[in-house]
Each structure stands twice: as structure tokens, then as C-alpha cells.
Amino acid sequence: MKEITVIGGGLAGLVSSILLQRKGYNVSLYEKKQYPFHRVCGEYISDEVKPFLQRNGLFPDSYNPSEIQKFEFTSVKGRSFELPLDLGGFGISRYVLDNFLSQIALKEGVNVVTKTSILDVNFHADRFNISTANEQFESELVIGAYGKKSVLDKKLERHFTQKRAPYIGVKYHIKTDYPKDKVALHNFPSGYCGISAIEDDKYNLCYLGSRDALRKYGSIEAMEAAEVKRNPFLKNIFDNAEFLFEKPEVINEFSFAPKTAVEDHILMTGDSAGLITPLCGNGMAMAIHSAKILVDCIEKHYKKGELKREALEQAYEAAWNGTFKKRLRVGRRTQSLFGSAITSEIAVTLMKNSSFLAYQIMKNTHGQPF
């Protein structure tokens, strides 16, 4: 019997496991890879989470994350619009940040199990029965923090798995001549690409593309030549930057459809509970905040020897929806303004004529410092 099992060692999983272990729970965290490793991610974090991270000794000061204060948006044809970020943010790679948090988790006493996948989870008789390739065990609470997609989603028959998602995500780390205080979103005919500084004079270059476009052109390189480079800003970056990976990090078929925060009694957090569109640049902050919300709910409804499961699930679902549901909805609606020649031109025109629109989008997809 394990007390609390966390499935997935990304930001939500690591932060929740650290906080719960500090509060006296016995936590086991399972991650299928070995730290450190890269993830497909924009690697920009809104400063709304900075006070929380600093207060809990979780901010990676020693790695000198970039400080980002400006946002730029460009259409496929290269028209641009720029505005200051309301809160600002910082940039740091998941390679560094996840490893940094995993070391804290180990020091706090979390049982961190890497290179191990959770293959099945079943809830029966008020206990979870969990299987890996090498063991079977029971757990009193299970937290699902496994990210954008997992085989567990299909086994749980989550509704969004019934339809194939049309997206692919591609990430590079590069060295280039680009402002360190700016995050930019550059549109191309079938998607959009973000660039922002991270640590060590490096930049994250990450784009959301179309699975159909990849199939049409046959390879990522061919798709980038035919579509991504249609934007002159992106063409300049791709033609002149120093690319630091041997090959890009890629993730295929992940969904922005609504999800539930509790699924078969598993408490979902981070991207497992809801994935915001990358154009909003706020997924990492939401993962961290959702972990904090979940821990607060667990502490309120789970004391040693007494677990009020129904009350916990209801409280967490209400808190999660109250904090994030509107943001996700605005993100999905706003996405229609991006990722094509016509709509990106309209979006630039609207923003140039009314910065109020841009600020409203920003306001409704970001939270307040906590």
C-alpha cells in the first residue's frame, strides 16, 4: 500500500509531490523517463507563479532564467504588433527546471521512481490498484500528472480520446541574435511558432503545426521549408540560427478539448486536467498553480486515517474549474485568430487598431500572482 501515488514527473507532478511530502504525506512519484530530459514546451512562465515558487524555495535562481517583458505577434506575411506584458514572465528550459525540482523532491523524501511507466490504474473497494511492468501495488490517492497525452487516457476512456487530434508540436533549442526580454508568436499557414530566451544564452523555438501538413510534405524539414518559412521572421530565424539539437523534439496528436479534473477518482492536474492553447503562453504557470490548488484541497479533506474522498473530489473540481475553465475557453476561441494567412492579418489589424483587445486576451488567459 502506498499513501499517495503521483503519475508523471512534470511541473504539476513534481510541485504537488514536494508540497505533499512536506506536509507529512508519503508520496511516490513515477516518471517514465530519466531526468534530465527535454519536453515539447514553450518554456515561458508567467510571473503570476513567481511569488509562490520563491516562497516555497522552488524558483531556480541559480540558473539565471531570462526575464521577459514584451510580447510580439506577427502575421504570415510579416506584419507585426508589439505590446508590454502585463505581469511579465521568465524563460527556463524544462531540461533544467524539471531536473531542478526532481532533486528537491528527492531531498524532501519523495520516492521518485524514474524509467517506469504506470500501465494500468483501477479503482476498487476505495483503493487504487496500480500496475507497472515490474510491480503491482495499491494506493489510497492517485494524482494524474502525466501531461498532454498518455495511454492511460484511452484506458480510462476519456471522451477526448475518441477523436484524433489534428496537431503536432515541434521544439528546438537554438542560439540566435534576438531580444532576450521578448516572447514572440509568429504565424505560418498551418500554425504558429513561439520564440523566447531561456538560460545560458539559448532560445526556445517551439511551434504548433498540422498533422495534415506533415503528411502532405512528408517530413518536418520539408514542412518547415514549405510552410513555416513563409513568415519572413521565421525564415530569418530558421536560416541563420544555430540549432542545438541533433533532431527536434516532437509530440503528435494532443488535444485542446475540455477535460475533467477528476476521472474515475484520479485527481488530474496540469495538462492532464486541461491543456491551454500554446498561443496563450501560460501552460507551465497553470500546471504549477493547479498543483498548489490540489495540495490545498488534499490537506483540507485528507487527514491521517480519514479520507473524505467525495468531498475532496468535489472541492478540487470546483476549485479547478473556478480558476482555469474560463482561461481554457478563451484560449480555444482565440486560437481561431491564429495559424492562417487571412486570420493572422485580421488579428494584427485588430490589435494595431485596439490594443485593448490584445490586453483582454492576455488578461483572460493569465491569472494573478499568488
Question: At which residue does the C-alpha cell 531542478 appear?
Answer: 100
Contact 287, 328 (CB under 8 A): no
pLDDT of residue 206: 97
pLDDT of residue 52: 98
The mean pLDDT of the chain is 93
Q: Does position 256 have pLDDT exceeding 80, yes or no?
A: yes
DSSP string, 237-264: HHHHSEE-SSS-EEEE----S---SEET
| Lowest model confidence (mean pLDDT) among 122-131, 153-162, 271-280 | 271-280
Q: Does position 86 have pLDDT exceeding 90, yes or no?
A: no
pLDDT level of residue 279 (50, 70, 90 thresholds): low
Q: Does position 278 have pLDDT exceeding 90, yes or no?
A: no
pLDDT of residue 339: 65
pLDDT of residue 280: 63
Q: Cα-Cα-Cα-Cα dihedral of 89, 361, 204, 261, to 10°?
A: 90
pLDDT of residue 343: 76
pLDDT level of residue 333 (50, 70, 90 thresholds): confident
pLDDT level of residue 28 (50, 70, 90 thresholds): very high
Contact 367, 47 (CB under 8 A): no
41 vs 344 pLDDT, higher one: 41
Burial of 182-202, coded b for 16+ CB within 10 Å and e otherwise, reads bbbbbbbbbbbbbbbbbbeeb
Q: Which domains does the chain have, with CATH numbers?
A: 2-365 (3.50.50.60)
